[in-house]
Amino acid sequence: MYKNIIITGASDGIGFELCLLFAKNKARIYANGRNKEKLESLKEKCNNLGAEIEIFSGDVRNRESMLKWIENIFSTNKNIDLVIANAGISRADSSLKSELSVIDINIVGVVNTIFPAIELLKKQGIKSHIAITGSIAGYFVMPNSYSYSSSKVFCNALSEGLYLGLKPHNISVSIINPGFVDTKLIQNSSYKTLFILNSNQAAKIIFKGLLKKKRIITFPLIVALLAKFYNIMPIFIKNSLQNLLSKGL
C-alpha cells in the first residue's frame, strides 16, 4: 500500500476520488489543483478519514511553481512512493486559446510534474511508482480533437519510454487510459458517450490497478478494443465515420 503520494488534478473528478481512496488507507497526500475551495473540501474529507494531506493550489503549466512545490515535498519527505500526473482538460471550444490550453495542461503539465520528480525519486533509493492519466483517446486520433487526442498519444509514448528507462531504478510506471467518465471533461464534449462511468467507479478501477502496479490501466475493455480497431482502419473509412463521432473533445 502506498503511504506518501503526490497527485495533480485533485480538486475534481478522478483525482478527488483517488485522494479519498488513498486517505481511507491512511496515506499522506500532497494534492494539487486549481480550485482552492474544492481542495479545502478535499482536505476536510481526508482529515475526517484520518489521513494527513497538504494542498497546493497552483497551475501545472507554471514550471517554476511546480518545481518548487515538488522539491519542497521531497525536502521534508524522503519516502514518496507514488507520483500521479492526473491533471488534464478537454477543449472548451474550437478557439486557438482553448486548443493551446489543452496542449499546455495535458502535455506541459505532465512534464512539469513528472520530470522534476524523477531524479528525486532515484535519490530516495526506495521502490516507487509514477502514473500518468492519459485516455482511450490516446489510442487513436479523434476527428476535430487534434489537441486532445495528440496530448493523450504523447502521454502513452512518454509512459512507455519512462517504463523502459526507469525500470533499473526500481521505479514502476503506469499509464491510465480511461474511457468515458462523467467529469467536466466529458460534460464539455459533444461526443456520443458509451459505457460511461462516474468518477468514483473509475477511481476504484485505477486504485486497484495502481496497487497491482499494472503497466497499462485501461477501461472499459470494450471501448479500448473499439478504439484500437478504429486506429487500424484505412483513412478513407475513418473519413466516412467522422459524422458519427460528432465534434470532439
Residues 6+ apart with CB under 8 A from 104: 61
pTM: 0.89
d(CA 246, CA 232): 20
Task: Identify the pLDDT of residue 232.
Answer: 77
Residue type, 167: K
Grid cell at residue 184 = 467536466
Q: Which residues of the chain have pLDDT under 50?
A: none
Cα 122 to Cα 20, 63, 83, 127, distances in angstroms = 27, 20, 13, 9
pLDDT number for residue 245: 56
Instruction: Enter the C-alpha cell of residue 173.
Output: 510506471
Q: What is the pLDDT of residue 91?
A: 78
CA 148 from centroid of its chain's CA atoms = 13
User: 170 with 126: CB under 8 angstroms?
Assistant: yes
User: CB neighbours (10 Å) of residue 95?
Assistant: 10
How many domains does the chain fold into?
1
Residue 141: give the domain boundaries. 4-245
CATH number of 20's domain: 3.40.50.720
Q: Tell me the H-state helices in the chain.
A: 13-24, 36-48, 63-76, 96-103, 109-124, 146-166, 184-187, 199-211, 221-231, 235-241
Cα(first)–Cα(last) distance of the chain, in Å? Answer: 34
Contacts of 242 (CB under 8 A, 6+ apart): 143, 144
pLDDT on residue 243: 59
On the CB side of 57, how many CA atoms lie within 13 Å of its CA?
A: 10
